[in-house]
Amino acid sequence: MAVSLIAVDYSRPIQPIFLQESRVGTVHSIYNKATNIAFDETLLALLSDELPRMPNSVRLRSDVSHKLFLNLKPGLKVCVGYNTLAIPTLNFSFHLTHTPLWEPRPEVNLYSWNRETVAQHTRLLTQFLAKKQHKGGLAPLVGALFLAQPLQETPLSRMAMPNLRLLAQASWQQNIEGIEKATHGLAGLGPGLTPSGDDVLGGFAAIMGLLSAQLSADGISRKHIASKIASVAKPRTTKLSGVLLEFASLGEVSEQFGMLLLTLMLPAEEFGTVLKAADDVLAFGASSGGDTLLGMLLGLRALESEID
C-alpha cells in the first residue's frame, strides 16, 4: 500500500501533535470507519469522512480509510510529526500541509441567548428523548428524572440515578464535594470504550463549560465544574472517555453535538431544527448519542434551578 495523501480535514486541538518533531504512537482500537491512535496521554482519531468530525479527529477519504483500516492491528507503530502521519509497516502516510482546520468549540459568544427560549427547547427535547426507544444506556432515565415517570430499575439505573440527581444539585449549589462524589459514581459506569456514565458526564460538562455563563439563572459561570468533572473522571474510566471528557470540559465537542447546542438559541417556533439536530446526535453510536443528550439536558436543567 504505497500511498501518500492529503487528509480531508482535522481538528484544531490536535494540531500541536503534528507540529512537533516526529514521535511514535500505537494503534489503540479499530472499527469499520474509525481508528484510535494512542500518543502518551491522548488519543488521535482517524475517521472516514462519512463520519462527523470529533475534537481529536483527522478525517480521510472513505475509500482510503476503508483500505487502511482493514490492514491495521492494535499495537502497530505510527509516527506523527512535521505535519505528517506515517505507518511504516504499511508504507502509508498522509500530510496536513494544505488540509482545512476545523474548530470543535462552538462559537456560543457570537449569539444572543434567551433563557426562557432555551428552557422551552429543553422541555420539548426532554419529552422527545423520553418517547424514544433506547438500546441500553442511561437515556431511558430521562422520564424518571424530569417527567415523574416510574423508574425502570436495572442494576445500571440503580447505580446511576442517585448520582445523576446529586450531580445536578451539587452543580447548582457549587458543592465541589458533591460534584466529586457524583462523578466518582458515574465515571466508567457501563460497558464499552465510552461507558454510558462518561457520555452523560461529557454532555453535562460541555454545558457547564460552554453555556453556564449565558444561561445560569443566578448569573454565575460554572466552567470550573466542567474541569473538576474531567479531572475526577479521567483516572476512573477508559483512555478514550478520559480524553473526550477533557475536550468536553474545554467546550470542544463533536460536530453534531456542537450543532445541536447552537440550535438552542433559535426562536421557539424553530424547534423543528432543534429536533433534527437532536436526531443527528442520537444517531451516534449504540447508546452514546442518547446518553450525551441526557447529560446535556441534565446540565441545562441544573442551570435553571435546583432539581428535586
**Residue 60 phi, psi dihedral angles, 5° rounding:** -115, 160
Check pLDDT > 70 for residue 307: no
**Residue 268 phi, psi dihedral angles, 5° rounding:** -55, -35
**Which amino acid does the sequence have at 80?**
V
* Residue range 295-306, pLDDT digits in tens: 999 999 999 986
* DSSP for 166-200, written as a single string: HHHHHHHHT-HHHHHHHHHHHTT-SSSSS-HHHHH
Structural fold of domain 3-102: OB fold (Dihydrolipoamide Acetyltransferase, E2P) (2.40.50)
DSSP-H helix ranges across the chain = 15-19, 62-70, 115-131, 142-146, 155-173, 176-186, 196-215, 223-233, 239-249, 255-263, 271-282, 288-304
d(CA 265, CA 112) in angstroms, rounded, equals 7
Eight-state DSSP code of residue 79 = E
User: What average pLDDT is seen over the chain?
Assistant: 94
* Residue range 200-248, pLDDT digits in tens: 999 999 999 999 999 999 999 999 999 999 999 999 999 999 999 999 9
Check pLDDT > 50 for residue 274: yes
pTM of the model: 0.95
d(CA 288, CA 257) in angstroms, rounded, equals 11
H or E, element range at 3:
strand 3-6
The stretch 158-186 carries a mean pLDDT of 97
Report the residue count for the chain: 308
- In this prediction, residue 89 carries a pLDDT of 94
N-term to C-term CA, the chain: 59
Check pLDDT > 50 for residue 1: no
H or E, element range at 85:
strand 84-87
Q: Which has the closest alpha carbon to 73: 89, 54, 94?
A: 89
CB-CB contact of 213 with 111 (8 Å)? no
* Residue range 205-215, pLDDT digits in tens: 999 999 999 99
- The structural domains of the chain, with segments of one domain joined by +, span 3-102, 108-304
